[in-house]
A and B are shown apart, each in its own frame.
Chain A
């Protein structure tokens, strides 16, 4: 049974949603509020209000509350008027559906989003484990921060809903991209700890620099462990992308492992997209 949360849904939308899922799933409803907890839900359904800016803000807050988990956010337009979906998709909505859309099509789309992300195979953990171990070790060593690995899923989506990402391109035997993504507050706290400074003393440039250095260290310390394997890669200079909901292009036909880590009550994610060489030269 899937757990679905309907937010700000009118009786009309609740009725349609019940019809879509037919009682096979656990659908709960509540009003939108700051600090809403989304843990354990497989889908969020939000009825669109009239004020576009307000809805965009709601979606952003929900996306942050997902804590890097790939929970689909479905926006329902219960009004008759057709609206452009782009501002909502950019804000973090997965899909915008209208009550005027044919019900079977809506059911098909929503069921597609309810298919859970693939979990790693045992052999995939062989290349993911060094990244997990080194990510925890780096933040423990450089910032005395205890990091706990929480979960991993595979995704083909290219959207990253964080505030700041450090990116490292991989080349050589294996090719791909490593991306570490933080929300701003956690990035600032980590950089402050690394520098032994108060958070108020940390400026944006230092945060960019710190995130860049973290992905540099994760890549550099992990590549040593792949010497002599098809996963061995070379690194270049890292770069940093800033802004909520930014997009990173990954290798085509290569799925991305999203590793979620926890620091206290906050999370960050490491995206590992790596294509090993099929035969060792």
Chain B
């Protein structure tokens, strides 16, 4: 299984990739939303999960979700948003845009694993 991990922090990408790998995902990393969209375009339909930060340069995570949901090729790929944005209205905004799950930073590896499983189950 393949996942895109999009976060402008290399450190956070590394942490997420490690946890994703522990549950069987091969992760490809994107440093911003534009890179995440490029990776989706180049993936040939092989992406099974997208893990997205909200606040990223160039294209934000919420805009990536909106673009994905408006594109037949990507609209069914499950998305977990992982962000420091922790207010309820922000969480609801991400869900309305099409995220299947939302995890606020900081998080433990167990919380991330649970959140990924929940997103995949919803899918």
Contact = CB atoms under 8 A, between A and B. Distances in A.
Contacts, number: 61
A47 B86 CA distance: 52
Main secondary structure of the interface of A (DSSP, over half): helix
Interface residues of B, number: 20
A127 B59 CA distance: 32
Contact of B105 (A212, A220, A223): A220
Nearest to B106: A141
Nearest to A137: B106
Interface stretch (B3-11, B61-69, B71-79, B93-101): B3-11
B105 A237 contact: no
A205 interface: yes
Contacts of B86: 220-221, 223-224
B43 interface: no
A210 B18 contact: no
Contacts of A25: none
B12 interface: yes
Contacts of B104: 220-221
B70 interface: no
Contact of A213 (B9, B18, B107, B108): B9
26 contacts: A137-B106, A141-B106, A141-B108, A194-B15, A196-B18, A206-B10, A206-B11, A209-B9, A209-B10, A210-B9, A212-B9, A213-B11, A213-B12, A216-B84, A217-B106, A220-B84, A220-B86, A220-B104, A220-B105, A221-B104, A221-B106, A223-B86, A223-B87, A227-B87, A237-B8, A237-B55
Interface of A: 137-138, 141-142, 191, 194-196, 205-206, 209-210, 212-213, 216-217, 219-221, 223-224, 227, 235-237
Given A138-B105, A219-B84, 18 more contacts: A137-B106, A138-B106, A141-B106, A142-B106, A191-B11, A194-B11, A195-B14, A196-B18, A205-B10, A206-B10, A209-B11, A213-B9, A216-B84, A217-B105, A220-B84, A221-B106, A224-B87, A236-B55
